[in-house]
Amino acid sequence: MLTRREEREQAFILLFEKSFNEEVTVSELYDMAVENEAIAESEFAKTLALKVTENLGEIDAAIEKHSVKWKMNRISKVALAVMRLAICEILYYDDIPVGVSINEAVELCKKYASKDDYSFVNGILSSIAKEEK
């Protein structure tokens, strides 16, 4: 059984992979990853990644609004996938505390992104969270 943190990490991996494979759906990526044992089966990870792609317009609009002086194409694919995941949780998952979503995003950045990314991500997510209150 996976922890919620591990499930989030799997959702992040799916979203990161999707950023390189526009023509493949998240469901297809999930099925291939499970089949190849790259990730474990997780309904939460799959649902979360799908929810991000279904609401990508609104999620990316929030990122653009709060990333002052940063264009979307300048943000690393890792930071973008992490932010999309956390913003999805903040906007669409009332049962997940905002602080948990932000903290998990920062931890994913520390693990996968550059040293500067996690403070950038934390700032954007904190700004979005304040607006959502």
Q: Which residues of the chain have pLDDT under 50?
A: none
Domain count, the chain: 1
Give the pLDDT confidence of 7-28 residue by residue, as tens digits: 999 999 999 999 999 899 999 9
CATH at 89: 1.10.940.10
Per-residue pLDDT, 89: 97
* Residue with the two structure tokens 């998990």: 104
What is the pLDDT, as a whole number, of residue 3?
95
- CB-facing half-sphere around the CA of 66: CA atoms within 13 A: 23
Closest CA to 107 of 117, 96, 97: 117
How far is the first Cα of the chain from the last one, in angstroms, to the nearest whole number?
Answer: 33
Are the C-beta atoms of residues 106 and 118 closer than 8 Å to each other?
Answer: yes
Given a contact cutoff of 8 angstroms between Cβ atoms, the answer to whether 91 and 55 are in contact is: yes
Residue 90's domain comprises 4-132
Cα three-residue angle 24-122-51, rounded to 5 degrees: 30
63-71 contact pairs (CB < 8 A, 24+): 63/87, 63/124, 66/124, 66/127, 66/128, 66/131, 67/124, 70/120
Structure tokens at 64: 């653009």
Dump pLDDT digits (tens) for 77-91.
999 999 999 999 999
